[in-house]
Structure 1
Amino acid sequence: MGTEPSARSRDGYTVGALVCVNSFGSVKVPGTGQYWAAPFERDGEFGGLGGAPGPLGDIEDWGEAKFNPGLRTHTTLAIIATDAALTPDQARRVAIMAQDGMARAIRPVHTPFDGDVVFVASTGRSALPDPAPLSLAGLGSLAADCLARAIARGVHHAGMTKP
Structure 2
Amino acid sequence: MQSFFHCAPIPLRAGSIIEPGNWGRIVRLYQPNFGNYAVAFREKVLEEIRLKEFPHKPSRLECCYMVPSYEIAKTYQNRADSRTLLIYEVELLYTDTPNHIGDWTYCYPVDDSYYFDEMEECARQYWRGEGVGNTEILVNSPIRILRCVDASSPRCPDPAYPPKPDARKK
Q: Calculate the TM-score normalised by the size of structure 2.
A: 0.21
